[in-house]
Chains A and B, each alone.
Chain A
Amino acid sequence: MEALLRAHGITRRYGPGCALCLDSTGADAGTNRCPTCGSVWACRDVSLELRAEEALGIVGESGSGKSTLVKLLHFDDPATSGYLELARLRQLEGIGGIYADGCDWSRDLFSMDRYRQRRVRDASMGIVYQHPHLGLRMGVSSGGNVAERLLSAGWRSIGAMRQRASHLLERTEIPLSRMDEPPRNFSGGMQQRVQIAKALSGDPPILLLDEVSTGLDLSVQARVLDMIRTLREELRLSMVVVSHDLGVIHLLCQRTMVMKNGQVVESGLTDQILQDPQHGYTQLLVASQLQ
């Protein structure tokens, strides 16, 4: 399958950095915080490729850098170094300065201005955060939440936006009678489904999921994951799935990357990683989670 997104050497450092940082942080050092200067290397030299219509899992414990990685891909936070490119997508053709003539890949998106980054993000990506309050405006109607991305993309018909919002809310099983209610009136599972509808509003080819089912009841979790699987197939989405739960990864993802202390320690086909983990840390993860 063709690659849709590729990133190389993504690094995010919080703090000044020093000469001793590289040797004293990372998976082998067992920490992402430099004992000398106190800098935190949340993500260090991560490279990845996302193919069309595939789900790529990123697994690791908290502090491994997996959520930071997704935030960097979504331009929520600027990367310290590294680059990010997208394949030539029809959704991005209208944004000037993204593609050089004749190139199949975009210019480095990390070094683009914030205005273009936002337009690229609105046209090509949707994100679902673990905490609904990060992705939703709790006081704005659910329909309005879905409409926000459409408005950002230049939609100017109330009727068309309401039609699109009701279609997506129906797909994510929110009763239409509650479309004009704010998400703060809803249960956690419902809020998560509104978030999914919002993420899909602009018809993006790429969906980023950050611990999307964490914190939900088991039965609610199963329903949300099932819905995501159906949507992925029907809408032919490519997804990056971040989770600390190998069960979620196993259910959704064909390929998986394992992260520890900001670094990738192992990557490959999900089945292979689950059946025959190579890195000691992956072995520990698999042993502790899968019976």
Chain B
Amino acid sequence: MRVREWMDREAAPRSTFAFLDDGAKKDVRRALLKAVAIPGYQVPYGSREMPLARGWGTGGIQITLSLLKPDDIVKVIDQGCDGSVNAVNIKKFYERTAGVEITTDTALATLVQTRHRIPEEPLTDRQILVLQVPYPEALREVEPSEAQTRRMHAEADYARMWLHLYEDIVRFGEIRISYRYPCTVNGRHVMDPSPIPRWDVPKLHMADALFLFGAGRERRIYAIPPHTRVEPLEFEDHRFRVEDFSGKSCARCGATDTFLDEILMPDGSQTHYCSDSGHCDKRRAGWKPC
């Protein structure tokens, strides 16, 4: 065989389905298997460059690309919304490289990729939620060095994280962590649940679905398998609390049990809409104002 022939054979694009070459997909899947085996543990992997910028969901995208099958139905949301810039970009990319069907209905999706929210509708054991992660390290708040935080995880040395919360309570009467609220997974690893609001944290606990977390820039993958304990760090006399929406409801669908966006009106007043736009649309179709 001549070099030219060999190169044509080896260099020819083997699989154009879902952008990544097969080797890269295998790399990601291996990391995913390890992540599922050790819930909450950050698995280092060789993150590839994506045509979307670092910080724009490249970790989540690589996970999705390595899992996609032609018959998958995909939903992508950004801040809960199907039409937000990041979600639109990513969907465009999936349509172009994998040709998969796109939906805004959580119940129809086989795979949901999200930035900063978990859908309101409970996910089933047939669904995977892929979360985009900017900072995979929950301990970064108290320790800047990666070598140190890896040691701390290995030794389950979490006193400094707890101390951080203790100090907040002593000084401010409140834990000041708003989103990215640290959780203990399976009674072992302290994990960053990605920048979801506290509202979404309880949805991770003993869930039916599989949660996969991808941090492309920081090159880490981690996971919460179905039916795994996920407990936010809290004290017996200072419980974890979600955002307070009491007395408020969605101006579109009337929901009082969802995470609400605060919208500033031109006259300076406030109104509220569901952050989960797909859920809101669905409810609105069946909801009549009295």
Which residues of A are interface residues toward B (Cβ below 8 A)?
A: 114-115, 118, 137, 140-141, 143-144, 147-149, 151-152, 156-159, 161-162, 180
Contact = CB atoms under 8 A, between A and B. Distances in A.
Closest 7 CB pairs of A and B: A152-B159, A151-B162, A157-B236, A115-B155, A151-B159, A158-B235, A114-B155
| Chain B contact residues: helix, strand, loop or mixed | helix
B159 A149 contact: yes
B126 interface: no
Contact of B154 (A115, A141, A152): A115
Contact of B167 (A144, A149, A152, A156): A144
A159 B238 CA distance: 9
Given A143-B170, A162-B170, 5 more contacts: A147-B166, A157-B235, A158-B169, A158-B170, A180-B171
Contacts of B236: 156-158
B156 A115 contact: yes
Interface in B140-163: 151, 154-160, 162-163
Contacts of A118: 155, 157
| B interface residue count range (under 10 / 10 to 19 / 20 to 34 / 35 or more) | 20 to 34
A75 B160 CA distance: 18
B71 interface: no
Given A115-B156, A149-B159, A152-B159, A180 B235 contact: no
B10 interface: no
B237 interface: yes
Contacts of A137: 163
Interface in B64-111: none
Interface string B168-181: 01110000000000
Contacts of B238: 158
A146 to B, nearest CB: 10
Given A114-B154, A158-B169, A140 B237 contact: no
B169 A148 contact: no
23 contacts: A114-B151, A115-B154, A115-B156, A118-B155, A118-B157, A141-B170, A141-B171, A144-B163, A144-B167, A147-B163, A148-B160, A151-B159, A152-B162, A156-B234, A157-B235, A158-B169, A158-B170, A158-B235, A158-B236, A158-B237, A161-B166, A162-B170, A180-B171
